[in-house]
Structure 1
């Protein structure tokens, strides 16, 4: 009896589709434009792709070009805007992790990973939701975050403005370049 149950379980396991493991913060990186990089050092992979001239720095022009490249991937029907259907595809197929489960503030200063306090030092950590859990920016939905006029569509012009704004956030010293070493750490 036990033997037949084990055999039936093995057959069922072989026939069942593999369950995808949810990426951990260390295995998923969401670029400033919202592009997911899974496995390995996603931040370094994104940076290497964005650094078109391979000089070890990403300029505003390179940053915008990288954002425009990803915009073209999002704009499936090539009409110059990412609409609700294309945004839904982003959330469901391109980066589904951003819509899964709550927020992850991580342990704050003086906290143990289980959330119990030792002694809090400084302000309470800001909860990160959506893509912000896997990104350098605290922006839960990067595609919707580009919708400057809030009309539920992101035009190429709005996308470029969002890229410029994101670059400025990542370049607080205003020197016009980003280096891998000076980029903020993920939460």
Structure 2
């Protein structure tokens, strides 16, 4: 992956040029180009196996591309991955909730990992519990949550750090119609 120059039109959004990824002989991305302006809701659609999750993993610095270059929030994936990570929130296909912790503790754990001070972490947790209609279960272990409640908590955890770019990989999986509508309204 060459990152000596930024993709044409690099901005605070997402810019990718020629992203390629293979696993052995299996090519999973073959020259993906993207230009997503800040403030845009952008959907990457395609059938299973089309490379959507791989694209998200590359753009969120979880894996590297074999070829191509990209910037996210104005930062090069290759030259400054820590800066990229400080600007993004990621919700994967499956909820990454710790079942041993309460809803509130899950949110406060993320705040601690993001180095928010204790008061700000508690404030953000309370705000997100209310926003995602989880205040009634804030003190309950997440292992007792339904799939939809776990998904809502997972989405809330993504927003703790107030990311400027959010990657949502199949965000409505497991949500009931009302929760799905609420989530899209928030986005």
TM-score with structure 1 length normalisation?
A: 0.24
* TM-score of the superposed pair, with normalisation by structure 2: 0.24
Larger radius of gyration: 1
- Please state which structure has a larger fraction of its residues in strand: 2
